[in-house]
Amino acid sequence: AQSVTQLGSHVSVSEGALVLLRCNYSSSVPPYLFWYVQYPNQGLQLLLKYTTGATLVKGINGFEAEFKKSETSFHLTKPSAHMSDAAEYFCAVDRNAGGTSYGKLTFGQGTILTVHP
Amino acid sequence: GAVVSQHPSRVICKSGTSVKIECRSLDFQATTMFWYRQFPKQSLMLMATSNEGSKATYEQGVEKDKFLINHASLTLSTLTVTSAHPEDSSFYICSARSSWARFETEAFFGQGTRLTVV
């Protein structure tokens, strides 16, 4: 079974500061990992994903994440926060990674990112 | 490409009535669609998986007679909340998995539906 833990339900940073959102996973198979962003009353937008290959994954809006198997982590970072980054972020693992039934996700609890001037 | 449209975006209904939510893949064929529910200040929880032309598979604890899912075509899945009650008020989001090889590692999400039962 797969599970995801996001450390910190709220993260607050200053504009221009480093953003670090933590995600640890548990998976019985090689994981497919995702980061999504959600703005209020909206659906999910994919920021980036890791499936296979390069462990440092670059996504949209300057975000990136590194898959570290030894630490079972997939932390999301951005060098310089912008006010528009304020939103809720979800880390997710695909329950059937490596098989043919992808798309069924287990989500972490979410982290609300606040960016202040 | 890979756009999923969900309708309506918001709905308010009276307790005891039924509400239907549609999830459409606009530019691809979706062999499988997923329905999630998100309560306020909580994460998304998978409710059910629907495959075109077959019965949906429900997650443990989700009442299949209350949340009716129909996936009659490769571009449309519907979720009907029957006899809705205030505790069913939530944000419902669908996602769709494409049969295109280029997208075979992810599913695409709709915009979500905010259901309020009064």
Express each pLDDT in A91-117 by its tens digit: 999 887 655 667 889 999 999 999 999
Residue type, B59: E
Contacts of A41 (CB under 8 A, 6+ apart): B91, B112, B114
Interface residue of B23, B39, B44, B94 to substitute, partner A, most A CBs within 10 Å: B44
Residue B29 has which token pair?
């064929």
Residue A53 has which token pair?
């290959």
**What is the Cα–Cα distance from B26 to B24, expressed in whole angstroms?**
6
Contacts of A49 in chain B (CB under 8 A): 105-106
pLDDT of residue A101: 64
CB contact under 8 A, A90 and B34: no
pLDDT tier for residue B1 given thresholds of 50, 70 and 90: low
Mean predicted confidence (pLDDT) in B21-32? 91
Contacts of A102 in chain B (CB under 8 A): 97, 104-107
Beta strands at B4-7 and A87-94: parallel, antiparallel or unpaired = unpaired
Q: Which of B43, B46, B49 sits opposite A109 (nearest CB)?
A: B43
Tell me how close the Cα of A1 comes to any Cα of chain B, in angstroms.
Answer: 14
B24 in A contact zone (CB under 8 Å): no
Interface residue of B3, B106, B113, B115 to substitute, partner A, most A CBs within 10 Å: B106
For the stretch A14-28, pLDDT in tens is 999 999 999 999 987
CB contact under 8 A, A109 and B42: yes
B101 three-state secondary structure: helix
Residue B116 has which token pair?
């309020």
Contacts of A41 in chain B (CB under 8 A): 91, 112, 114
For residue A31, give Cα distances in angstroms to A67, A97, A99, A110: 10, 6, 11, 19
Backbone angles phi, psi at B77, to 5 degrees: -130, 145
Q: Which residues of A touch B (CB under 8 A)?
A: 32, 34, 36, 41-46, 49, 51, 90, 101-110
pLDDT of residue B52: 85
For the stretch B49-107, pLDDT in tens is 998 888 899 999 999 999 999 998 999 999 999 999 999 999 999 999 887 756 667 78
| Of B115 and B106, more confident | B115
Q: Where are the alpha helices (DSSP H) in chain B?
A: none
Contact between residue B99 and residue B31 where contact means Cβ atoms under 8 Å apart: yes
